[in-house]
Amino acid sequence: MASGSYADKTVRRLPVKKEVETSIPHRASRQQQQAVKEEDTREYYYYEPETRLVNPFNGLLSVASQIAAIPLGAIRSVRQWIGDIVDNYRRHNLWLQPLLISMMIVICFMGIFLSVGIVQRSASISISTKGQVYDMQVGGNQADTWQHGPSANIPTQSGPYSVLGNPTISVDFINQVLSSYNSPAAGKGQTLNDLGKQYGIDPTFALAFFMHESSFGTQGEATKSLSLGNLRCIPNFRCADNFAQFDTWEDGFKAWYQLIRNLYVDQWGLTTVDLIIPRYAPTADNNNEQGYIAALKHAIDTWHAGQIIVS
């Protein structure tokens, strides 16, 4: 053991630095610190969803634009087609131009012929008996040849049931017939009688036609047109519903007498019921000629027998 001064010396001891133990290894600690530094320097971006106002017309506008593109394309095609036609026309002008002019002339003439045919057909006359309509071939386009007074020479009666001759029934009897059937022309017996004498037509036949065409003006178009014969439109009179419109029953009676006397008798030579009806209401127009003739004759026979009502 040392002794002496040496032993008495106080040895100054430095404090021992104790290391703080940690459960985390240094290597791990350094990596963690590095990771923390990286997280500190990282930038984060947050995106918020954009709020948009949806226009409900956007879809319609898109569809409309697509539809509008269709006629534009069609217009371009048509323009190109027209351009091709013009180019072809210019190349073949020498022979194509006369051909086109000839075709136009032919089309114009066809239009004229069709128009004439329509006018002639609309000028025909029709009658009806108890609801049945008859087309009358009376030469409506020849109205200017029969719309006048009678000729000076009155033909004589020829054959049974001839329309020619003096009145075979009296004015009073005609008025009784019209009144019994509640005719709007009641009281016009004198006019029927006088016109019959003027045109040489027995008014009994006029009365028979009047009955079978419109039941003495109580049915059909005659209730408005005041026409004994339901004449189609003719010159000098108003036209409505394709029928001639008369201002008075007297005018309607006169037109029928002119038709029978000046056209059927004088121009066509048809004087009897059997000859007139095939032209007046022909079978070709789906009419029963014999039935119509029999109906007229039955009415005339009834009145000649003194009976007012036709059974």
pTM (predicted TM-score): 0.55
**Residue 219: how many other CB atoms lie within 10 Å:** 14
Residue ranges and CATH numbers for the domains of the chain are 121-304 (1.10.530.10)
- For position 6, what pLDDT does the model report? 45
Q: Divide the 311 residues of the chain into consecutive groups of 10 and give the mean pLDDT of each group.
A: 48 53 45 48 52 56 65 75 77 76 86 63 40 41 68 67 94 97 96 95 95 92 92 85 92 93 90 91 83 93 96 91
Which amino acid is residue 138, in one-letter code?
V
